[in-house]
Structure 1
């Protein structure tokens, strides 16, 4: 692994160097080093409580590292505004607005990212059809099942298609058909050049779209 961060001529999607994170008295991440190249797919494994979700939140600039260096698409990890323009996090709880409908959630996400043209071209309706939620387009999210919320969150990730997409437990609360749809949608993102980091408890599934695997244990990343 190279010392220091690469310059613009050889720009990975993600670079971490000796990254530490302490929350209160607890050390969550310990000297994490990681390179993820643009377009790569990485599966993040680990037991419950290992810190996978916390690492994803840090990469999405929701948390600030205690010490160390990090870059997302060449931007300093601490520059949260720049990082958020290039990254999308789909949390395990889907991160949707419960009092908005399916359509309103997707339209709001597009407007927040300055993609108002996509709202006008029918992209939202097409995205709902893609995840078989067209019949629930006007239903408030609070009345959706866990599996339906998961599919709506995947539709949002597909619509936004940020260069680096972080997915936390994409296969949870889904039946066999739902899991197959997840694989198809994530595969399409990768085919379009999106870099994927998938935290999952189903390595045999996740590695179909994110073949490289690392395991987080005791705050340290290891080859799986």
Structure 2
């Protein structure tokens, strides 16, 4: 008899109630097994804080959900699309990596406009820069911006794109108190617009303000974390 859960994963899911569904996902990188039999359901429009020590696999899991990595075993659906359908998944997912993932030889404004162009979206890059306090840096190449300014620019891009699933790796790193509050405000606005958030962070007290459910990765295994500490 077919497994009803796996059968449901293969069924068409227009307007799927779950943004992310993983079943029995394993991932091996070289000789190292990074993820071990992960099951995960993330309802559409919800927020998840992903916890774990350095090297636990948080970044790897975010890359897998964004189709940057393919599972060694297991299966899943992202926004109703098969996990291995990279093009369909990438259209609905934005990953903000810990290093911001910006183009260093483009200016701040050019980075935002290029991101909009890649997603065939319209948006106001100048207003987005002003929102994060970077209007004076709009014409500066990213390579000349400080780590904190690059983080603010990456957050402006994530906010401007507002992809249905937004994955953010260490959003509070390299930011002062004002920058961290700005991050909470921007991510909170995305959550209020129905965006599904997955945030890998070492500051659960901050991340859980916008992504209240906490999951912990340890030894490649994912489990609920009721305390988020």
Normalized against structure 2, the TM-score is what? 0.93
Given the alignment of the two structures, is residue 3 of structure 1 paired with residue 5 of structure 2, yes or no? yes
The alpha carbon displacement at 1:73 in A equals 0.4
The aligned length equals 218
Aligned to 2:116, which of 92, 102, 110? 110
Structure 2 unmatched runs, 5+: none
State the secondary structure of the residue aligned to 1:139.
coil
Which residue of structure 2 lines up, in the alignment, with residue 87 of structure 1? 93
**Structure 1 residue 3: deviation in Å?**
2.7
Alignment of 1:129 onto 2:126: no
In structure 1, stretches of 5+ residues that fail to align are none
**Counterpart in the other structure of 2:146:** 145
| 1:47 and 2:53 matched | yes
- The runs of at least 4 consecutive aligned structure 1 residues that moved more than 2 Å come to 2-11
Structure 2 distance, partners of 1:130, 1:174, is 16
CA distance in structure 2 between the aligned counterparts of 1:129 and 1:3, rounded to whole angstroms: 46
d(CA) in 1 for partners of 2:147 and 2:117? Answer: 25
SS in 2 for 1:3: helix
CA-CA distance at 1:10 after TM superposition? 5.1
CA shift, 1:70, in A, is 1.1
User: Is the 2:16–2:44 contact (alpha carbons within 8 Å) kept by the matching residues of 1?
Assistant: no
Separation of aligned partners in 1, 2:72 and 2:17: 24
User: 1:223 offset after TM fit, Å?
Assistant: 1.0
Pick aligned residue for 2:106 from 100, 103, 107: 100
* Pairing of 1:31-70 with structure 2 (within 5 A): 31-70=37-76
- 3-state SS, counterpart of residue 5 of structure 2: coil
Q: CA deviation at 1:82?
A: 0.2
CA contact (8 A) 2:21 2:40 kept: yes
Supply the distance in 1 between the matched residues of 2:83 and 2:156 (Cα, whole angstroms). 26
Instruction: State how far apart, in whole Å, the 2-side matches of 1:41 and 1:17 are.
Output: 19
Listed as ranges, the matches of 1:201-220 within 5 Å are 201-220=202-221
TM-superposed CA distance for 1:101, in Å, is: 0.3
Residue 182 of structure 1 corresponds to 183
> 1: CA distance between counterparts of 2:64 and 2:42?
15
- The Cα RMSD (Å) is 1.1
Further displaced range: 181-190 or 7-16? 7-16
State the distance in 1 between where 2:104 and 2:98 align.
15
* TM-score normalised to structure 1 length: 0.95
**Distance change >3 Å, CA 60–CA 197, structure 1 → 2:** same
Q: How far 1:76 sits from its partner (Å)?
A: 0.5
